[in-house]
Amino acid sequence: MMTEQQHSQQQTTNNAGNLMTGSTGRLALTAVLVASAAALQVVESPLPRFLPWLKPGLANAMTLYALLRLSASAAMSVAVLRTAIAALFMGSLLSPVHLMSFAGATSAAASMTILRRLFPAAGLATLSVFGALVNNFAQLVVVQFMFASNMSIWLHLALMIWVALPSGLIVAKVTQELLRRTP
Amino acid sequence: MNDNVPPLFAGKHDWLILLALLAVSLLAWAGHNYGSHSSFSGACRVRILTEPPQEMLFSGPQAQPVEIRGRTGPAVIEWGSDRKIRIKSSSCPCKTCVNMGWTDSSSLICVPNGIVVEPTVGDGQQVDAVTR
């Protein structure tokens, strides 16, 4: 026999489930993820870093969540829109900084999608670390084409890989908690 | 609570991919060490990507730090006692260029400020020959 409170909780869960399956619900969830990711990117930007490129990249958790809970196109939408909105807030829209951010975020979304297709059983940590690494790699490609006149910029790749590992693991754990705590 | 959540590490594929990443990082680290110039003279080329773009060539270490002006404001380039170069300060928001520290091989690039510091070999030219 269900108490009234349990019945109410069950109904709320069912409503949330229905909301998630409808196209309006999916659109609303995508919008929430875009807004959250843009806010995280703006908040993270001025934080001090002990090593270059060392930041958690929590905005990528929203992309990974969208990929797992919604679809690849939703993940790509989150990546494209959050970089544009964050750049708008930080006054860097269409600047090289925005282009780097855009290239990194979309490459990470695409690479995580491809990895998930190739290895459906891949764990969250692998997806996330791979995404973080491709993000850094894509940013180096942009810097190479826009600024560098020789290939010495690629010597930074070793450090970038080591930085991608902890940040990828943090993003994976955050995504796992988000998935666990949402219907 | 939703219990149908993918695990952080799922199986052997995960470890294979992560091991591959570690292998790439070791290769990159070896490349970094290979690219390091033990006989670096302190020569460098500084490009400032403003309108119009500017370029400065330094044939060796400067006794005093050099202040330049980029897109977002001033930046200071400094040479160490071992002739390595760093961007000591920059008016960019993220300070990634400053955090990159000293270098004698890889370029230091400040994207927001549009400053590129490229260590060069010899007289400021990093080419062996010019052909027509």
pLDDT digits (tens, 9 = 90+) for A164-176: 888 899 999 999 9
Q: Tell me the two tokens of residue A57.
A: 């990249």
**Inter-chain CB proximity B109 and A143 less than 8 Å:** yes
Give domain status of residue B107, yes or no.
Answer: yes
Give domain status of residue B126, yes or no.
Answer: no
**Inter-chain CB proximity A158 and B25 less than 8 Å:** yes
**Inter-chain CB proximity A155 and B32 less than 8 Å:** yes
ipTM summary value: 0.73
Cβ atoms of A109 and A76 within 8 Å: the answer is: yes
Confidence of residue A79 (pLDDT cuts 50, 70, 90): very high
- Determine what percent of chain B is predicted with pLDDT higher than 90: 23
Cβ atoms of A108 and A79 within 8 Å: the answer is: yes
Give domain status of residue B9, yes or no.
Answer: no
**Inter-chain CB proximity B126 and A121 less than 8 Å:** no
Nearest CA in chain A to B36: A155
Give domain status of residue B24, yes or no.
Answer: no
- Determine what percent of chain A is predicted with pLDDT higher than 70: 85
| Range list of H helices, B1-132 | 12-35, 96-99
How do residues B24-78 score in pLDDT, each as one tens digit? Answer: 778 877 776 665 656 778 889 999 988 888 899 998 888 899 999 998 899 999 9
Give the closest-approach CA distance of A77 to chain B in angstroms: 22
Give domain status of residue B89, yes or no.
Answer: yes
CATH of domain A4-181: 1.10.1760.20
Can you tell me whether residue B69 is helix, strand or coil? strand
SS3 content of chain B, % helix, strand, coil (to 5): 20, 25, 50
Distance of CA A143 to the CA centre of its chain: 21
**Inter-chain CB proximity B100 and A49 less than 8 Å:** no
- The identity of residue A145, as a single letter, is F
Q: Pick A122's closest partner by Cβ from B10, B47, B126.
A: B10
pLDDT, position A22: 79
Cβ atoms of A175 and A65 within 8 Å: the answer is: yes
Cβ atoms of B74 and B91 within 8 Å: the answer is: yes
**Inter-chain CB proximity A123 and B9 less than 8 Å:** yes
The strand pair at B44-48 and B54-58 is best described as antiparallel
Contacts (Cβ under 8 Å, ≥6 apart) of A38: A59, A81, A82, A85, A86, A89
Cβ atoms of B34 and A155 within 8 Å: the answer is: no
Nearest CA in chain B to A68: B6
The mean per-residue pLDDT over the stretch B91-112 comes to 86
For residue B115, the surrounding DSSP H or E stretch is strand B115-119
| Range list of H helices, chain A | 4-21, 23-44, 59-69, 72-90, 96-118, 124-146, 157-181
Is A171 buried (19+), middle (13-18) or exposed (0-12) by CB count in 10 A?
buried
pLDDT, position A6: 63
The CATH number linked to B67 is 2.60.320.10
CA A49 vs CA A44, A53, A82, A90, B28: distances in Å: 10, 8, 22, 18, 22
pLDDT above 90 for A69: yes
- The domain containing residue B88 runs over which residues? 44-119
Q: Pick A180's closest partner by Cβ from B1, B14, B95.
A: B1
Question: Total structural domains in chain B?
Answer: 1
Q: Pick B99's closest partner by Cβ from A51, A143, A183.
A: A51
**Inter-chain CB proximity A126 and B35 less than 8 Å:** no
Q: Tell me the two tokens of residue B29.
A: 């680290």
Mean pLDDT rounded to a whole number for chain A:
86
Domain locations in chain A?
A: 4-181
Nearest CA in chain B to A13: B1
Give domain status of residue B71, yes or no.
Answer: yes
Mutate to test the interface with A, among B13, B33, B85 (most CBs of A within 10 A): B13
